[in-house]
Each structure stands twice: as structure tokens, then as C-alpha cells.
Amino acid sequence: MPHTSPGRPPGPRRAPALRRALAIRRGQTHRRTLASRRGPALRRALALLRASHPEPAAAVTTVSALLAVAVGHPAGGAVAVAAAVLATQLSVGWANDWLDADRDAAAGRTDKPIPAGAIGRRTVGIAALVATVAAVPLALLSGARAGGVLLLALASALLYDWPLKFTALSVLPYLVSFAAMPAFVVLALPGTPTPPAWLIVTGGLLGAGAHFANVLPDLADDERTGVRGLPHRIGPTWSRAAAAALLLGATATLTLGPPGPPTRPSLAALALALAVLLIGYYLSRAAVARGDRPVAAFRAVMLVALIDVVLLLASGRVV
């Protein structure tokens, strides 16, 4: 029988201390388990975000929200517009990476989350499906006509992901979807006013120009994996020219399309866009002569696209 000191029974004092020690140990173990789970979960969430093509998704959503404010939407209407557009952008981005997973792996695109092993293809596919389903009620929050136009834009963009990306009609979804985007914003206003034709034409020209500019860095990788869209068929030189002409056309439409005489700022923007494209063209020719990559033309096209976006937002007051 173990020895104990008289008058100091161990049970009542040791039991609470032991329970506290065990509770502390269980709490530490629980926290370590949560931390170990939180790390991979956070990494998967970030990988899923990357698979959505977050930069263009954020850009299109932001421009749509700002245009909604510019044309007179109240705060709630602008939020509804932004939420619906964001859902369509997530749908298209995730669907693109889900469809392109095998081609991206074959091209060694370790910058893409699926071929890099950061997230499973099935997870991205489920996310695309959820975003597509969510886009329907979010679009209809702005009314049946406006929602129908946005869902047309979504269907057109998904058709680009497959199969039109591989055909000479690859520019068509960009024309349709980007033309529909400002139309959706205007139709979502109270009373569903008719969007002006010049605004729809501007959106289409911006989209088509963005298509040619967007694929330029990936032309070689795309062709190796079987993508033969219109830019691939006409080559990099003509693709740069097409992007420049379409975006300059958008600038001209934004300058001359709204009612009334062109404003001085819009004429200055048109002159600036033309000057930027000419400088980019000559700098690119000089780069080719030196054996360097003609990046100046691509940067010039991107700068003109930015000018067009600023003009588009400024045009909201005359819609």
C-alpha cells in the first residue's frame, strides 16, 4: 500500500490539477490540428482564386460597377450589377482552366494551379458549375431584360472556352459578350432604358481588340497544344494591327458617338490614342530590326485600352 501523509488525501487536490493539465494539452492539440488544417485549406482557396483568372475578372467587374454608378444606378443597383458580373467572370475563368487542364499540363504551364498540382481539376469544375448556377438569379435581380442580356454574354463567353477558341470564329464571343456588358448595365436601370447603339458598338470593339491583344503572349504555346483561333491564323503582326485598329475604333466611337459635338477631352484622348499606337509601332519595328521582341506595340495597345476604359466611364453621364 503506498505511503500517504496523514490529513492530505490526494484525490480532491490532484484530480482538478490533472483535469486542467489534460484540458490544456487537449486545447494545444486541437489548436495544432486546426492550424495544420488551415494551412492546406488556405492554399487550396488561393489556388482556386488563381484558377478563376482574378485579374481580368476583377477588372471587368470593377469597370461594370463604375459604369453602373456613372449611368445613375443607386448603391444597391450598382452592387447587384457587380455581383452578377463577378459571377459570370468566375464561371468563365474556372471553366476555362477546367477545360484547358490537359493542354496546360502538356505545355508545362506550372503557373496554372491545376497542372501545378495546387488544386484538383474536379474542384475547379465544381466551382465553375456553382458560379454558373449562381449567375442566373444574380443576373435576374436586375430585371428580366437586363438579366437575359447578361446571361447571353455568359453563354457566349462559355462558347469561347469551348469550342470557338479553336476556330476562326474565336473573336465572335468577345464581340458579343463585351457588347452585351454595357447593355446590361443600362438595361438594369429603373425603367429599363434602351442602351444607345454607340455604347454597344464600343463594347464590342473593346472586346474584339482585347481578344487579339490578350492572346499575343501565348500564341506559340497555344499553337503547340492545338489552339487555332483567328489570331493564330493571321499571325502576331496582323494580330497586333487588328488589336490596335479595333481599340482605336472604340476610342473614335466613344469620341464621336455620344449626342452633341465631341468634347475637347475626348478629342484629346483620340489624338493621344493615335499617337501612342504610332509610337508603339515604330518602336516595335526598331526592336525587330535589332532582333528584340516587339513589346512596345503590345504595351501601346494596352495603354489605348486603358484610355478607352476611362472614356467609357466618362461617357456614362450622357447615356
Query: Looking at residue 24, what is its pLDDT?
Result: 55
| 248 is a domain residue | yes
Query: What is the average pLDDT score of the chain?
Result: 88
Band (218; pLDDT cuts 50, 70, 90): confident
Band (215; pLDDT cuts 50, 70, 90): confident
- Residue pLDDT, tens place only, 88-132: 999 999 999 999 999 889 888 888 999 999 999 999 999 999 999
Band (8; pLDDT cuts 50, 70, 90): very low
The yes-or-no verdict on residue 194 having pLDDT over 90 is: yes
The arithmetic mean of pLDDT across residues 201-220, rounded, is 90
| 78 is a domain residue | yes
Last residue of a domain, one of 139, 156, 189: 189
Band (1; pLDDT cuts 50, 70, 90): very low
Query: Looking at residue 299, what is its pLDDT?
Result: 85
Residues 58 and 183 in one domain: yes
pTM (2 d.p.): 0.84
| 309 is a domain residue | yes
Last residue of a domain, one of 161, 189, 217: 189
Angle formed by the axes of helices 172-187 and 54-70, nearest 10°: 40
Q: Which residue has the higher pLDDT, 57 or 1?
A: 57
Q: By the 8 A CB rule, do 216 and 280 touch?
A: no
Residues 251 and 203 in one domain: yes
The arithmetic mean of pLDDT across residues 7-26, rounded, is 54
Q: By the 8 A CB rule, do 118 and 43 touch?
A: yes
| 221 is a domain residue | yes
Residue with cell 478607352: 308
Residue with cell 438595361: 187
Opening angle at CA 58, ends 52 and 63, nearest 5:
145
Alpha-carbon span 151 to 58, nearest angstrom: 19
- Residue pLDDT, tens place only, 238-279: 998 999 999 999 999 999 999 989 999 999 999 999 999 999
Query: Looking at residue 6, what is its pLDDT?
Result: 45
Instruction: Give the total number of structural domains in the chain.
Output: 2
The yes-or-no verdict on residue 19 having pLDDT over 90 is: no
Query: Looking at residue 131, what is its pLDDT?
Result: 98
The yes-or-no verdict on residue 34 having pLDDT over 50 is: no
Residue 175's CATH number: 1.10.357.140
Residues 164 and 114 in one domain: yes
The arithmetic mean of pLDDT across residues 166-192, rounded, is 96
Least confident stretch, 139-148, 154-163, 165-174, 305-314: 305-314
DSSP state of 318: G
- Cα dihedral 117→118→119→120 (10° resolution): 10
E strand residue ranges, the chain? none
Band (72; pLDDT cuts 50, 70, 90): very high
Residues 142 and 235 in one domain: no
Query: Looking at residue 5, what is its pLDDT?
Result: 44
Residues 168 and 108 in one domain: yes
